[in-house]
Amino acid sequence: MANEINTKTTLWQRAIRELKAFVLLTAYFYVTFGSVIFMKAAILHTHGIHYVAWGSAIVKAVLIAKFMLVGRALKIGEGYKGQPLIWPTLHKAFGFLLLLVIMTAIEEAVVGLFHHRSISAMVGELIGPRLGESVAEIVFLLLVLIPFVAFSVLADALGEVRLQKMFFTEPMPLEQNSRSENTTGV
Q: Say whether both 52 and 85 belong to one domain.
A: no
Residue 96 CB neighbour total at 10 angstroms: 23
Q: Say whether both 45 and 110 belong to one domain.
A: no
Closest to 151 measured CA to CA, from 163, 143, 161 = 163
pLDDT for 183: 54
Q: Say whether both 117 and 50 belong to one domain.
A: no
Q: Say whether both 82 and 168 belong to one domain.
A: yes
Most confident of 57-61, 125-129, 162-166: 57-61
Q: Say whether both 86 and 43 belong to one domain.
A: no
Distance CA 139, CA 90 (A): 14
Q: What is the pLDDT of residues 89-120, one digit of tens each?
A: 999 999 999 999 888 888 777 878 888 887 77
Q: What is the pLDDT of residues 140-157, one digit of tens each?
A: 999 999 999 999 899 888
Q: What's the structural domain count of the chain?
A: 2
Q: What is the pLDDT of residues 37-54, one digit of tens each?
A: 888 888 888 888 877 677
